[in-house]
Amino acid sequence: MTSTRRRRGRRDRYLPYLLLAPALILLAGMLYPFGLGLYYSFTSYWLQYPNRFRFVWFDNYIDLLGEPLFLRALEFTLGFTLLAVLLQVGLGLAVALFLHARIPGRSAIRALMLMPLMIPPVITALMWKIMMASTNAGILNHLFSFVGVDPINWFGSTQGAIVSVLIIDTWGNLPFVALILLGGLQAIPTEPYEAARVDGAGPIAMLRYVTLPLLSPFIVLAVTFRAMDSLRIFDVIYATTAGGPNDATTNLQIMAYQYSFQWYQMGKGMAQAVVLLLLVVMVSYLLMRLWNRASESTQ
């Protein structure tokens, strides 16, 4: 009897740990590569020269400040994120409002709109790269030629490459933003609209004073997701411009890749990745605070 109780007592003591074990293993699996990357960022780790491996404290971070490409990459990372978020959330809102209206074939349009989400970003990028060929062989330039537009140098010029990457990223992620905002629109109760209508509000006023304030938590959520992704964008850039031309589309992620896997300077590459991580954490923290505030104000 006593031994049974003792066994049960032991089981009760270990059970919580047992139940937590999968989560702990998962956590360790996530933390280990992160910790290793962080550690490498303080070393001179260069794959090709394993014998020169040593701890260099903050040297890699200090070197970054003197690296002109780093400043350009940082500028592009932030600028691209700002433009992408504005464009995607703006257009996403327009699409969501359109799909929220009672239009014929709404369900079919919604289903079709999800298609870009099902295509891997690299495939999306390569597909667009073919369509955006700089001569009239590219379908886009071919179509533009019918309205008298000269062939656009999509990827061969610095401005063209930035715009191209922005278009491709927007095409791939617009449905995601629209979906979040559509969900938000559907969650807004009808009463505020009825009250506004009684007060004589027109469609613009209703959008300004009812829809947008009530939708704001969803807008902030979409901005948060898109900002985090845009700061870290890699696949679309790598598959189309690889950071060129003239480093015009090199962001921190591409730069970290080049240092780590093209030139094998893992220590420097990891330092860049850590800076990017800090940037993402900082931006998402600020946006989450904004989201909390927006959620509270709508309740």
Partner 1 sequence: MRAKSQWLLAQLCATFLLLGGYLDASAQDEQALAYYRQAKINWRQAEGQSLTIGLNKHPFTESLLPLIPEFRRLTGINVEYLILPENEYFTKLVADLSQQRGEFSVIMTGPMRNWQYVPPDWIIPLDDFLNNPKLTDRDWFKLEDFYPALIAANRWNGKTGGGVGEGPLYSIPVLEESYILAYRKDIFEQYNIKVPATIEEMAEAARLVKKNAGIAGIVARGTPTIGTVATGFISGLKGYTDGKWSELDDKLAANLHDARSVKYTEAWVGMVRESGPPNWANMQWYDAMEAFTAGQGGMIADADFFAANYEDPKKSKVAGKVGYALIPAGPDGSPHSGLWTWALGISKATKNKEAAWLFVQWATAQPTLLNATIGYRNYNPSRASISSDPRVHEVMAAWGGGSYLKTVAKNLETARVAWVPQPERTRLGDIWARALHEVYFQRMPAADALKKASGEVDKVLKEAGIK
Binding site for partner 1 (CB under 8 A): 46-52, 133-135, 137, 151, 153-158, 161, 241-247, 261-264
- In the complex with partner 1, which residue's Cβ is closer, 4 or 159? 159
Is the Cβ–Cβ distance between 188 and 214 less than 8 Å? yes
Q: Residue 239 is encoded by which pair of tokens?
A: 């598959």
Helix 121-131 × helix 139-146 angle, to 10°:
40
- In the complex with partner 1, which residue's Cβ is closer, 47 or 290? 47
- In the complex with partner 1, which residue's Cβ is closer, 42 or 46? 46
- In the complex with partner 1, which residue's Cβ is closer, 60 or 230? 60
Distance in Å, CB of 51 to partner 1, minimum: 7
- Main-chain phi, psi angles of 119, to 5 degrees: -95, 130
Residue owning tokens 């047992």: 18
Q: Is the previous residue joined to 104 through a cis bond, with omega within 30 degrees of 0?
A: no
Distance in Å, CB of 16 to partner 1, minimum: 39
Q: Residue 81 is encoded by which pair of tokens?
A: 């994120």
Distance in Å, CB of 76 to partner 1, minimum: 14
- In the complex with partner 1, which residue's Cβ is closer, 158 or 284? 158
Q: What is the rounded CA–CA span in Å between residue 47 and residue 264?
A: 5
- In the complex with partner 1, which residue's Cβ is closer, 88 or 253? 253
Distance in Å, CB of 78 to partner 1, minimum: 21
- In the complex with partner 1, which residue's Cβ is closer, 63 or 196? 63
Distance in Å, CB of 187 to partner 1, minimum: 44
Q: What is the rounded CA–CA span in Å between residue 219 and residue 223?
A: 6
Distance in Å, CB of 176 to partner 1, minimum: 28
Distance in Å, CB of 244 to partner 1, minimum: 5
Q: Using the CB atoms, write b or e for 28-57: b if 16+ within 10 Å.
A: eeeeeeeeebeebbbbbbbeeeeeeeeebe
Q: What is the rounded CA–CA span in Å between residue 102 and residue 99?
A: 8
Question: In 3D, which of 109, 114, 95, 53 has the Cα closest to residue 264?
Answer: 53
Q: Is the previous residue joined to 121 through a cis bond, with omega within 30 degrees of 0?
A: no
Length of the chain measured in residues: 299
